[in-house]
Amino acid sequence: MTGDPKLTHIDSSGAANMVDVSEKDVTSRVATAEGRIKMLPETLALIQSGNAKKGDVLGTARLAGIMAAKKTHELIPLCHPLMLSKVSIDLEVDESLPGIRVLATTKVSGQTGVEMEALTACSIACLTVYDMAKAVDRFMEIGEIRLVEKKGGKSGHWHKDDAAPVGGLGT
């Protein structure tokens, strides 16, 4: 990290507060998060066939992720409510896991970023796959949920492949 790093949601007395974004410019902001859910090959085949007992696993997970992005401010205490202009959830079968890779992208024109909305959407999509297939596979593993890209706002464009500063993980 560079400079004097500070947590933006903590005030000078150490109390948690919502960041005041009223003076920030309204800009187009986009964030993408990824995650994965590993499972037994037989579970993946069942999901692909569309014959899961609870129905269309991937379609339901997509809708759950979209709904979760819209409710992020209700789940994460210091997130601002946002008027999202776009949420997309891509669920890709990956036989090499075996499992599903999830990519969630959120977009807004606003005064604050949409990283938490993308991360929440990705997490809930993965949890929904687990919920719908747990009857046949309790060994599923959700993981590697992370922000992969953000665009817009004062900090500009960031991608997970960008080099981290010496001595820190970056922001």
The predicted pLDDT at position 18 comes to: 81
**127 vs 62: CA distance, rounded Å:** 11
Pairing relation of β-strands 86-94 and 27-38?
unpaired
Q: Which residues pair with 54 in a beta bridge?
A: none
Locate the DSSP E strands across the chain. 27-38, 86-94, 99-110, 141-151, 158-159
Query: What predicted TM-score, i.e. pTM, was given to this entire model?
Result: 0.88
Residue 5: per-residue pLDDT: 66
Q: How confident is the model at residue 165 (pLDDT cuts 50, 70, 90)?
A: low
Reduced to 3 states (helix: H, G, I; strand: E, B; else coil), residue 32 is strand
Q: Is the pLDDT of residue 170 over 70?
A: no
The pLDDT, as a whole number, for residue 4 is 60
Q: What is the pLDDT of residue 162?
A: 86
Alpha-carbon gap, residue 105 to 46, rounded angstroms: 27
pLDDT in tens, 94-128: 999 999 999 999 999 999 999 999 999 999 999 99
* Radius of gyration over every alpha carbon of the chain, rounded to an integer in angstroms: 18
| Catalytic choice (4, 25, 90, 131) | 131
Q: What distance in Å separates the CA atoms of residue 151 and residue 106, rounded to the nearest whole number?
A: 11
% of the chain with per-residue pLDDT over 90: 74
| Residue 131: active-site member | yes
Summarised one tens digit per residue, pLDDT across range 128-139 is 999 999 999 999
